[in-house]
């Protein structure tokens, strides 16, 4: 059945985790505004990856990996234009230009790099095409996804930590009253200045983010830096109502046997529905 959705709701890290655990074979197609990517997997391992119309030929990958020089790259492009990657790889290995290890390591590094770039894609439709793999002439590798997932998780962890530090964007900021601090003498980035210019107990972080054209993660990252620097503090916005308190539910008491009997009666009844 279908494995498809949007990266807004289901991150690359989660997708890779799923593909890894379910040991899936097939191609993940991602279509983001203005770009597309195809990433193939065999039994849960990365096999191939391509973004858009980028040159994914073996010759170019070897050149980018500095395994061949510019002249060799040009020569191969001219003379071996009709060769498949597999044929070219065999030719280079048999002619002792490169070892099999050189070829595979270059491809692994390239495909892993392509996949890591996809972590920055926060939006885009994806679908997993079961059992669809790249054409025969392409060389597939076998890279475990664990390390790639770990890297993605590190990035997500940053996001989660920021979420913990600044859980609500409905709060406001105010400057910390510290004698001797001159905000104008501080060295702030353009983005930080933009946020600082909106600091006011009446402006919620959400409003500041909107005004400064920042997404939730970006505004948290900037505000976290300002908090760490001791420039601002988080307060409830002026005019906000106090947080309502709710009572914990009281645990039900009663004889265990009676409760079991009650549950069994319900079971009997539902079976008869």
Partner 1 sequence: MQTVKMVVTGPFNAGKTEFIRSVSEIDVVSTERKISSDPERVKETTTVAMDFGRITVDDDLVLYLFGTPGQKRFDFMWEILSEGMLGFVVIVDSARPETFREARSILETFRAYAPTPYVVAANKQDKDDAWDMEDMRIALRLSPRVKLLPCVAVEKETVKSVLLELLYSILAEMDEDRS
Positions touching partner 1 (CB under 8 A) are: 1-6, 8-10, 14, 17-18, 21-22, 244, 246, 249-252, 256, 259-260, 262-267, 269-271, 273
In this structure, what token pair is assigned to residue 16? 């890779």
- Rg, the chain, Cα only: 28
52 vs 167 by CB, closer to partner 1: 167
Q: Where are the beta strands (DSSP E) in 131-269?
A: 172-175, 232-235
69 vs 261 by CB, closer to partner 1: 261
Least distance CB 28 / partner 1 (angstroms): 13
20 vs 40 by CB, closer to partner 1: 20
Triad 97, 99, 101: Cα angle to 5°:
150
Least distance CB 128 / partner 1 (angstroms): 9
Distances (CA, A) of 30 to 49, 53, 111: 11, 14, 15
Three state DSSP letters for 248-267:
CCCCCCCCHHHHHHHHHHHH
Least distance CB 8 / partner 1 (angstroms): 7
70 vs 251 by CB, closer to partner 1: 251
129 vs 191 by CB, closer to partner 1: 129
Least distance CB 210 / partner 1 (angstroms): 17
Please say whether the beta carbons of 67 and 98 come within 8 A: yes
Least distance CB 57 / partner 1 (angstroms): 34
Query: Given phi > 0 = left and psi -120 to 50 = alpha, else beta, which region is 47?
Result: alpha
């Amino acid at each position: 059945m279908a494995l498809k959705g949007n990266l807004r709701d289901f991150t690359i890290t989660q997708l890779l985790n799923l593909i890894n655990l379910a040991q899936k074979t097939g191609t993940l197609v991602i279509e983001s505004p203005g770009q597309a990517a195809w990433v193939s997997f065999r039994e849960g391992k990365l096999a191939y990856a391509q973004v858009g119309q980028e040159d994914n030929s073996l010759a170019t990958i070897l050149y980018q990996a500095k395994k061949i020089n510019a002249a060799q790259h040009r020569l191969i492009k001219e003379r071996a234009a009709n060769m498949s990657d597999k044929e070219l790889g065999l030719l280079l290995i048999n002619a002792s230009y490169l070892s099999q290890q050189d070829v595979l390591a270059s491809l692994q590094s390239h495909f892993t790099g392509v996949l890591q770039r996809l972590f920055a894609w926060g939006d885009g439709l994806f679908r997993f095409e079961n059992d669809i793999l790249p054409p025969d002439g392409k060389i597939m590798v076998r890279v475990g996804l664990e390390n790639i997932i770990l890297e993605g998780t590190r990035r997500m962890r940053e996001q989660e930590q920021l979420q913990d530090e600044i859980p609500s964007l409905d709060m406001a900021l105010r400057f910390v009253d510290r004698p001797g601090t001159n905000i104008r003498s501080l060295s702030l980035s353009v983005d930080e200045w933009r946020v600082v210019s909106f600091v006011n107990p009446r402006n919620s972080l959400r409003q500041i983010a909107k005004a400064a054209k920042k997404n939730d993660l970006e505004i948290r990252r900037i505000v976290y830096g300002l908090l760490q620097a001791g420039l601002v503090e988080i307060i409830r916005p002026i005019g906000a109502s106090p947080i309502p308190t709710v009572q914990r539910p009281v645990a039900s008491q009663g004889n265990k046997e009676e409760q079991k009997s009650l549950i069994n009666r319900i079971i009997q009844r539902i079976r008869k529905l």
